Structure formats: structure tokens, C-alpha cells
Chain A
Amino acid sequence: MKVEQELEQVQKQLAVMRDIVSQCQKLVVEDGTLYILWGSLAVITSLITYALTWFKVPVWTLVVLWIVAFYIPGSFATYKKVHTKKKHVVTFGERVIGRLWLGVLFVSVVSVILSLVSLLPWQGIIVIPFSIGLVYFPLAVLLDWKPLTAFGLVWIAGGAVMLVVPAFYSYLVLDGLIVVCEIIPGILIKKRVHKLIDMAQAE
């Protein structure tokens, strides 16, 4: 095969791949939205919790707050977003965040129940970063996905920090972790993919 023919063939194949990848990237934008949504709800609820603890409100008030401001809207939005297109395609990000969401929900409910029966202090919330880190880290190592490995380690390190800081500051550390590990990556994913789509359209 002549050089020109070879290159023409290669260019055609690359064009096919570029076209498909640019169409699929729109799905990844949706994943970024889920991360931002999930993280934002957690930060808002956690900040309100932090504020309320200064007024020494009963624990059940905080439980109701988390259920109303975090779990219900978060679960509903995630379910609705995933199911609007789940009939046709499932992305890796959806699967990870879906499992993560269930994992955090399970761990949080268990820690709240334990707190209510006084087996653990209310700062059982410390379990959250450890559990997320312990889900992220092995998953990332298995997939050889370095950014996720780093986030897994940050979550575990954050959990260790929450163990040593005063209980009230645990919520602020948790917020910082959520911003660094969920919201910022979500924004970066969205920006990066929008840029790639623009570049593909320009070509």
C-alpha cells in the first residue's frame, strides 16, 4: 500500500474514532453534574449541621436535617438523572457514584443509629470519609486510575484528621474533603469535556 493511501486510511479511521468519542463525551458531562450535585448537597447540609451544633440542638433534629436536606433530594436527583438515559447506556461514572451513594447512605444510617443508642458519639460521622476512601482506593488501584487513587488516599487522610480535631470541626473537615474530592473534580470533568467537544466541533 502506498504511503498516501495508508495515511488516508489512517485519517479515516481516526475520524471515525474522534466522532464517536466526541459524542460519548456528552455522557461524561452528565457524570460531572452528578458529582457537583452530590457534593453540594453534602456541603450545605454539613454546614447547617455545624451551625446547629453551636445551639446544642437535639441529635434527632440533625438526623431529620440530613434526611430532608441530603438523602431525599440527593437520592431523588440521582435516581431521576440516571434513569432518564439508563435504558440505553450505562457509564462507568454512573456505576461508581451509584454504588458510592448507596455505600455512604448505608454507613451514615448505621452511624446515626449507633449514635442514637449511644454506642458511639455523634461524631460517628467520621466513618464517612473512611468508608468512601476504602471504596475509592482499592477500586482505583484495580483500575490503575491515578486521580481516583489520590482521592481515595485524601479521603482516608481526612478521616484521620477528623479523629484528632475537636468534634465540632469534623464537619468542616468533611466539607473540605467533599469540595476537594467531589465538587472540584466534577467541575473539572465538565470543563474539560466541554473544551474537548468545542475542539471536536471546531475541527
Chain B
Amino acid sequence: MSDDTGEIGFKPDAIDELLHNPLRLAIVTALSQVEQGDFNWLKELTRATDGNLATHLRKLEDSSYIKVTKTYSGRKPVTYYALTDTGSIALKNYIAMLASIVKKFETDPH
């Protein structure tokens, strides 16, 4: 429902700041579709630079949204990323928040 200021309930404290960033949202969405993916796959999918992607992956890891597994492919080290339960719940909540905004706008476009 919109109030006098034209707001429809997009409360700043209700927003998951981690997922509100488009690149982090893209990473979490991608990992929600697979069991695990490596850095190069995420880079290709999100079209991000190495540094930028690494920074955002670290933020997600620090918040326990994703978990990191380091392994070897032959002699080459490979780092796999996978979504945790915390990340999965956060993504569901974020989608629910987006849906509620759209629904509110549909019922009260003004």
C-alpha cells in the first residue's frame, strides 16, 4: 500500500543488502541452479572481472551464503563454490520481497 510519500513498503531495513547488489545476486542465483560451480564458470556467466568477482565471492563467503571447496583437476588447483542453506534461505526471502513489491504495485499502482 502506498503512503503519502509514494512509498509501497520497500523498507531499507528489510532489504538483504548482500543480495541487493546485482553481481552478488547473479552469483547466488547461478549457484542455486547447480550443485557447485568454479570461478571460471561464474566469471563467464556473470561477465565480471576477476578482481570484482573475487571480492564479491569473498563477501558472500564471509556471510556464509556460499561455501568454498578447493581441490585439484590433475595438477591444476580448482576452487568450487556452492550455495549454503543460509544462502538458499536468503535468496528465497529476497525473491519473496521482490514478489511482494510487484504484488503491492499491482493492487495499488498509485
Is this pair of chains taken from one and the same complex?
Answer: yes
Closest-by-CB residue of B relative to A95 is: B35
Which chain B residues in 13-35 approach chain A with CB under 8 Å? 20, 22, 25-26, 29-30, 33-35
Across the interface, do B34 and A90 meet the contact criterion of CB distance under 8 Å?
yes
Given the known interface contacts A3-B105, A21-B33, the answer about A12 and B22 at a Cβ–Cβ threshold of 8 Å is yes
Give the distance to chain B from A105, nearest Cβ to Cβ, in Å: 21
Separation of A6 and B22 alpha carbons in the complex (Å): 15
Give the distance to chain A from B93, nearest Cβ to Cβ, in Å: 13
- Which residues on A sit within 8 Å (CB–CB) of B46? 20
B36 at the interface (CB under 8 A from A): yes
Which chain B residues in 40-82 approach chain A with CB under 8 Å? 40-41, 45-46, 73, 78, 80
A165 at the interface (CB under 8 A from B): no
Across the interface, do B34 and A89 meet the contact criterion of CB distance under 8 Å?
yes
Across the interface, do A3 and B7 meet the contact criterion of CB distance under 8 Å?
yes
- Which residues on B sit within 8 Å (CB–CB) of A14? 98
Interchain CB contact (< 8 A) of A24 among B6, B7, B34: B34
Given the known interface contacts A89-B37, A92-B35, the answer about A20 and B30 at a Cβ–Cβ threshold of 8 Å is yes
Count the A-B residue pairs with Cβ separation under 8 angstroms: how many?
81
Give the distance to chain B from A47, nearest Cβ to Cβ, in Å: 34
Separation of A17 and B105 alpha carbons in the complex (Å): 20
Interface size class of B (residues with CB under 8 A): 20 to 34
Secondary structure at the A interface, as helix, strand, loop or mixed, is: helix
Q: What is the 8 Å Cβ interface bit string for chain A, positions 79-93, against chain B (1 contact, 0 not)? A: 000000001111110
Separation of A12 and B102 alpha carbons in the complex (Å): 13
Interchain CB contact (< 8 A) of B41 among A1, A6, A10, A89: A89
A13 at the interface (CB under 8 A from B): yes
Separation of A113 and B41 alpha carbons in the complex (Å): 43
- Which residues on A sit within 8 Å (CB–CB) of B35? 90-92, 94-95
Closest-by-CB residue of B relative to A7 is: B105
A27 at the interface (CB under 8 A from B): yes
Across the interface, do A89 and B7 meet the contact criterion of CB distance under 8 Å?
no
Closest-by-CB residue of A relative to B33 is: A24
Closest-by-CB residue of A relative to B38 is: A88
Known contacts A3-B6, A20-B46, A27-B34; 6 further A-B pairs (Cβ under 8 A): A2-B6, A17-B26, A89-B38, A89-B41, A90-B35, A92-B35
